[in-house]
Structure 1
């Protein structure tokens, strides 16, 4: 017997807002008991700039969570405390490896209630951290959105979060749409499946357009130097000053260091939903495509240990369970492969793959501008400055400038460089490129499969205007290219010349 198709309400998912809350996030906790939290959040930027945040938090009493009633209140409290926690850790000249009880105790309780880790996740800074400016306008309109909390007060930071919020809202109707397609495939209704895929592809194109708007109000230098350090987690952050992680002082006397990843768009349930319903398999980084495995109802692959699956632990619990449920019923890829003679159906399916691949291509272009290029600039500047000039502050932005011995590169006995690994041992460049390339693998039409599997050549070989380089010249240039070490949001990465990572799609 086939498993039932998920009911959105069972997982707290809205048919109109998707993974965004159906009830808009609270702008303030209603109980005056929590005014101290609200006051700190309202003055977070000033407290960080004046370097007084840690002192204020240290004097803050431990507040009980008994006054939190509705889900919206729990979510508001979680977002507040997450901003306070990351501000506390990263606002000094060097990071703090301890969170005081005033933050740690309630944050741990609230995180357990909401089934999220006690860090600034994608849910804390995006899903539950926005408000519409006009209630009669849609929340997929960037001009109608504002953030509730930021670390810096900069428009750039708000815009960075709000682009993701708008994408979540614009993509929300895809969720019930594709559940309808799954139901139609069970009934062998190819016409309905085709119509759903047409709409899906069009919405994916809309999301790419929204993602491209990141450049409008988020400056790469401000993002790299001022915003990104606060989003860092405590996992693989030795080069940024947290070699062991962070201790959450819960009063038990048995506290141990905890390590968590930082904020990442891989924690977006929406993007992972797209992969699941289309039957896209993301293998552990570096693993080649093998023989298709036997699946249940669909071609949604069996879970493997990789970075994207690791990020499901950072999603709200109900959202992660929803993805697991969808994984058990996904059948679109199987249905299309069984109806290869239905050209409109196959073309519609391949169009969805092409649009999702285009979204990932655009993401690679954005992370190049926001991470790789700024990192190379600061490394170039640091070479001309004295060690004293670059040793003033330790955080994620300064880590690539300082490069203490043993951090930038590991040297093997053969003298070759080992690439640094990121969260869960994932190499950034390999991960991004592999995730993009895997998106096109299920293509049904031969031309579509060939088109999405092509390797774009950028070195100018055989180009009419650039001319064809001498034999071996390209390899020689490549071998001389210096590797850039990029500390990512949640880890450190070794990055090649053209791509890097803010987050993961």
Structure 2
């Protein structure tokens, strides 16, 4: 007899918002008894900057958890305690391995109640910290880092009832309904990939790597970071060492749900695929180990049990494989795999920019000649003994794990072309060979940076820059050359010369477009050609943030049915748009003015031969140019939105 399809309500999961909590998380514990906990959480940034976090925690009394009443209070206590835990461990010059009883005892009790390990998990940092109330740094970058994941969870929530419906339809042989569900699933996955890329808007890679990421690290595989045995949880009776991975996206129940319903199987990193075996519905698949499987133990108990239930009834992959002649069904299924793999490609590119490239800079700073004073020992300052295994906060070898998970996503593809596009299958006859998406044929990952294309090779831990930057001057030269070639070809009747001229002119258009591109890093606009940068007008930053917070409040208000919060969100969003628009116009006007002033000043300095003055005016001109173009680009984006 087949197991019943899961009912979301049995696991406390929302059909609209998925694994996000069904009620807005508490911003503080209501009982005054816990004021001391909340005081530390609300002053975490100051305590970390002043290096007083440990002495403050050491002076705490051991508070009882008996005054925690609702599930919301238990979850809030977990957030407060794990943020305090990680600040205590990583908030000094060296990590502290012993956790005092006043933190250990209540933390273990809270974690036991919530079925979570005593470490900052994805659930604690993201799901139960929904409005980014708690941060280690107090920065917009950290808040944005959390909010992007919350947005992804919210957008992906409706896929849970959607794919459970598909499983039920597959049992009844209803191909049309399964195809319809897969179509919508692919669209949702595409939306999630777009949300992931919004990380670049307000989370700076340098800030993330050096200020945020060290606090998210766990205690597993952290010997090089100063925790060879993990953490010693001292309960005052029988202290025990424990090793736990830190917060990782692999702990997202939503991402694992995608894999399960689509039949994507993951193996331990480095293990090759075995001969495919047909699994019958209703029979749990053979046990698979590895990091992704292990991460389920970091999920809230109900979420973990839900995934186990879904795993026992998942049948979409087998259903599609048995109907290969149904092209619409196969295409819809392969589209889901493609979107999920593309999302993982984007994640790898993001990791390259936020971690691989940043780690190279950190290693250079740890060279003896460049070291002016000892740096704190943590995940950012650590120089791995094995350079091939730069580790994530969860403790796994970072890039090998991510690349294998990405490649495994394409393995179930049905169509021959899809298998080639999504994996390493041989090229079918008549098809052109393709490199992996977002990756060179030699396995190097390319990331577009401020100065062009950077290739990151995790095996060698090297970063190289491709010499492919174009300039405005070269674009004009090529344009003129192309026009001349076309004219000569027309006069002489040489079609070859005309084609060469058209090709050269087309190339010039691309070069000219490239020369007008600007790159955005947080609140700074940069010109890849000149290296000039311009800080955005503060109104643009505050306006953008007000829109983000306003939209979040509006969503939360709708979420919990609170009209007051929803209205506040609408008003804050509108005020943010107005402030951002004013800032954009101010930057646009100042940019145009600085360009003109810089140009005229430079001409005057050149006439009298004052090179130093000429350089000063050139810098004013270049900064004005990048400020103008950055504002124009933002205005164009808003206008097209």
* Shorter-normalised TM range: 0.7 to 0.9
Equivalent in 240, 254, 270 of residue 270 of structure 1: 254
1:233-252, Cα deviation, whole Å (9 max, x unpaired): 11111111111111111111
Q: Which residue of 2 aligns with 1:201?
A: 186
Equivalent in 419, 432, 447 of residue 402 of structure 2: 432
Q: Which residue of 2 aligns with 1:220?
A: 205
Equivalent in 415, 430, 435 of residue 456 of structure 1: 435
Measure how far apart 1:226 and its partner are.
Answer: 0.5
Contact kept in structure 2, 1:78 and 1:124, CA below 8 Å: yes
Give the match's secondary structure for 1:3.
coil
Contact kept in structure 1, 2:262 and 2:317, CA below 8 Å: yes
* 1-structure distance, mates of 2:409, 2:120: 28
* Count of aligned residue pairs for this structure pair: 441
Q: Which residue of 1 aligns with 2:266?
A: 282
Q: Which residue of 1 aligns with 2:138?
A: 153
1:418-457, Cα deviation, whole Å (9 max, x unpaired): 7577799953332111111111111111111111125627
Contact kept in structure 2, 1:25 and 1:76, CA below 8 Å: yes
1:134-283 aligned within 5 A:
147-252=132-237, 254-283=238-267
Contact kept in structure 1, 2:119 and 2:244, CA below 8 Å: yes
Measure how far apart 1:300 and its partner are.
Answer: 7.8
1:397 matched to 2:376? The reply is no
Give the match's secondary structure for 1:308.
helix
* 2-structure distance, mates of 1:314, 1:39: 27
1:352 matched to 2:336? The reply is yes
1:155-197, Cα deviation, whole Å (9 max, x unpaired): 1011111110100000000001000000000011111101100
Contact kept in structure 2, 1:306 and 1:424, CA below 8 Å: no
* 1-structure distance, mates of 2:129, 2:422: 36
Measure how far apart 1:384 and its partner are.
Answer: 6.1
* 1-structure distance, mates of 2:191, 2:458: 36
Give the match's secondary structure for 1:397.
coil
Q: Which residue of 1 aligns with 2:48?
A: 48
Q: 1:437 to 1:120 in 2, by over 3 A?
A: same
Q: 1:165 to 1:297 in 2, by over 3 A?
A: same
* 1-structure distance, mates of 2:127, 2:74: 13
Structure 2: tracts of 5 or more residues without a match: 425-433, 443-454, 466-641
Q: 1:128 to 1:392 in 2, by over 3 A?
A: same
Tell me: higher relative CO, structure 1 or 2? Use CA pairs within 8 A at least 6 residues apart: 1
1:371-415, Cα deviation, whole Å (9 max, x unpaired): 00011112223336355x353321111112xxxxxx513xxxxxx
1:310-350, Cα deviation, whole Å (9 max, x unpaired): 11111111111111110000000111111111111111001
Give the match's secondary structure for 1:128.
helix
* 1-structure distance, mates of 2:278, 2:271: 18
Q: Which residue of 1 aligns with 2:24?
A: 24
1:51-200 aligned within 5 A:
51-131=51-131, 147-200=132-185
| Large movers: runs of 4+ above 6 Å | 420-425, 495-498
Q: Which residue of 1 aligns with 2:417?
A: 447
Give the match's secondary structure for 2:400.
helix
* 1-structure distance, mates of 2:289, 2:320: 27
Give the match's secondary structure for 2:144.
helix
Measure how far apart 1:497 and its partner are.
Answer: 7.9
Q: 1:115 to 1:55 in 2, by over 3 A?
A: same
TM-score under structure 2 normalisation? Answer: 0.66
Contact kept in structure 2, 1:99 and 1:246, CA below 8 Å: yes
1:330 matched to 2:309? The reply is no
Contact kept in structure 2, 1:280 and 1:300, CA below 8 Å: no
Structure 1: tracts of 5 or more residues without a match: 132-146, 401-406, 410-416, 462-477, 485-494, 499-505
Q: 1:32 to 1:56 in 2, by over 3 A?
A: same
TM-score under structure 1 normalisation? Answer: 0.83
Q: 1:243 to 1:199 in 2, by over 3 A?
A: same
* 1-structure distance, mates of 2:393, 2:44: 28
Q: 1:373 to 1:10 in 2, by over 3 A?
A: same
Contact kept in structure 1, 2:253 and 2:299, CA below 8 Å: yes
Q: 1:366 to 1:394 in 2, by over 3 A?
A: same
Contact kept in structure 1, 2:100 and 2:233, CA below 8 Å: yes
* 1-structure distance, mates of 2:396, 2:212: 23
Q: 1:26 to 1:422 in 2, by over 3 A?
A: closer
Measure how far apart 1:127 and its partner are.
Answer: 0.4
* 2-structure distance, mates of 1:210, 1:82: 27
Contact kept in structure 2, 1:279 and 1:300, CA below 8 Å: no
Q: 1:482 to 1:46 in 2, by over 3 A?
A: same
* 1-structure distance, mates of 2:305, 2:15: 17
Contact kept in structure 2, 1:234 and 1:259, CA below 8 Å: yes
Q: 1:190 to 1:12 in 2, by over 3 A?
A: same
* 1-structure distance, mates of 2:405, 2:458: 24
* 2-structure distance, mates of 1:365, 1:332: 29
Q: Looking at CA atoms only, which structure, 1 or 2, has the larger radius of gyration?
A: 2
User: Is the deviation greater in 378-387 or in 219-228?
Assistant: 378-387
